[in-house]
Amino acid sequence: MLDSDGSIDVTESSELTPPDRTLMGPGPSDVHPRVLRAMSTPLVGHLDPSFVEIMDEVQELLRYTFRTDNQWTIPVSGTGSAAMEAAISNVVEPGDTMLVPTNGYFGGRMASMARRAGGEVVEVDAPWGEPLAPADVSDALAEHDPDVFGFVHAETSTGVRQPNVSELTAAAHDHDALVIADTVTSLGGVELRVDEWDIDVAYSGPQKCLSCPPGASPLTLSDEAMDKVLSRETDPRSWYLDLSLLEGYWGDERAYHHTAPITNVYAIREALRLVAEEGIEQRWERHERIASALKAGVEAMGLEMNAPDDYWLPSLNAVCIPDGVDDGEVCDALIEQYDLEIASGLGDLDGEIFRIGCMGHSARPENVIFVVTALGDVLESMGADVDPGAGVSATRRALE
């Protein structure tokens, strides 16, 4: 702390040396070394001709990754919640009605943001741990006639992947509602086709399946959604996230709005280059293959997955906590003994599940063998009825 004369002695601390964790929780995931190297390259100005080129590249790589031709595709300065707020606070106008889901933590965040934008919130119900049923979405659309329908494609709080997306978007469009999709934990990890599935607006985050540090977050809007944004009667309340102003910087003009987080744009460029090098479909396939091995391991050990195969989310595996152990103690032991991060449940699934991420650079064979080994060891030492050896063998077999 400060000395009495207001000075501070930095010789008492050392240069930063964070612990070397393996990140297998709900995000952030492990960052690829190439992304870290990109972040240690020199700054240029945010309007430097070389940076303008980088902006173009990032936009094109984002279109590739989202599977979209949307002109309006940018990295928003900030974390996933900034891209989320940019989507909701621009598309939802005061007096609009937005239909949101109740089946997880992030649907609740959509509702809070819609209310702050002056919108009226109505809900389509499903329990935590289950996806939305298309019939329930249709009924809610017919009952409430909303202007906007939001859903979470990959619910990080429950490990549920929303199936039938095209059915949901078709139903919404039948009622002239625009569709906003939360794709934070699916982009770059789980099949997502923005154009083919007719999603109007999708936002994401860099630190989940893109394995990039948080700071510049993907957002894409169709022309139709952007038309609504550009013809608003009132300005959105946020100046910083006003897409009609951001158009000046990311659109043709390239004029100053705010200083882009240059280093984070470098980072996402490299992270997205890694996606394109691997191939987006191969990347989805890798996540599924690696997460299947994780799933095979925890099941062979004697644990149960919370989500059935129909809507299991490979990038976030919800594993039921076995009897007799405290989830918080298990997570603490994994950090202390193995430098390994996984997470416990939250909201309605608090105390029910572990959340094990399998995202981006973390979705590697050696990582899932490590997780299954470490989790089996810690659970057994705490008295749970598990067979760690069977778990590791099943994981290895699945990876062969």
Are the beta carbons of 185 and 360 closer than 8 angstroms? no
Q: Is 186 or 395 the residue whose CB approaches ligand PLP more closely?
A: 186
Element (H, E) at 337: helix 327-338
Q: Is 314 or 376 the residue whose CB approaches ligand PLP more closely?
A: 314
Distance CA 297, CA 275 (A): 27
Cβ 105 to ligand PLP shortest distance, Å: 8
Q: Is 162 or 395 the residue whose CB approaches ligand PLP more closely?
A: 162
Question: How are beta strands 97-101 and 120-124 bridged, if at all?
Answer: parallel
Q: Is 205 or 376 the residue whose CB approaches ligand PLP more closely?
A: 205
Q: Is 152 or 267 the residue whose CB approaches ligand PLP more closely?
A: 152
Cβ 92 to ligand PLP shortest distance, Å: 17
Q: Is 152 or 178 the residue whose CB approaches ligand PLP more closely?
A: 152
Cβ 2 to ligand PLP shortest distance, Å: 32
Backbone angles phi, psi at 99, to 5 degrees: -95, 125
Distance CA 73, CA 165 (A): 20
Distance CA 45, CA 50 (A): 9
Query: Identity (one letter) of the amino acid at 189?
Result: G
Binding residues (CB under 6 A) for ligand PLP: these are 27, 79-81, 84, 106, 152, 156, 182, 184-185, 205, 214
Are the beta carbons of 59 and 71 closer than 8 angstroms? no
Cβ 346 to ligand PLP shortest distance, Å: 11
Q: Which of 383, 387, 386 is nearest to 325 (CA)?
A: 383
Cβ 127 to ligand PLP shortest distance, Å: 17
Q: Is 181 or 398 the residue whose CB approaches ligand PLP more closely?
A: 181
Distance CA 92, CA 120 (A): 9
Q: Is 157 or 169 the residue whose CB approaches ligand PLP more closely?
A: 157
Cβ 397 to ligand PLP shortest distance, Å: 31
Element (H, E) at 236: none
Element (H, E) at 173: helix 165-174
Specify the 3-state DSSP secondary structure of 387.
Answer: coil
Cβ 149 to ligand PLP shortest distance, Å: 16
Q: Is 271 or 398 the residue whose CB approaches ligand PLP more closely?
A: 271
- Count CA atoms within 13 Å of residue 2 on its CB side: 4
Residue, CB closest to ligand PLP: 80
Cβ 381 to ligand PLP shortest distance, Å: 31
Distances (CA, A) of 94 to 118, 151, 243, 376: 4, 20, 16, 51
Cβ 81 to ligand PLP shortest distance, Å: 3
Classify residue 279 as left (phi > 0), alpha (psi -120 to 50) or beta: left
Distance CA 31, CA 113 (A): 29
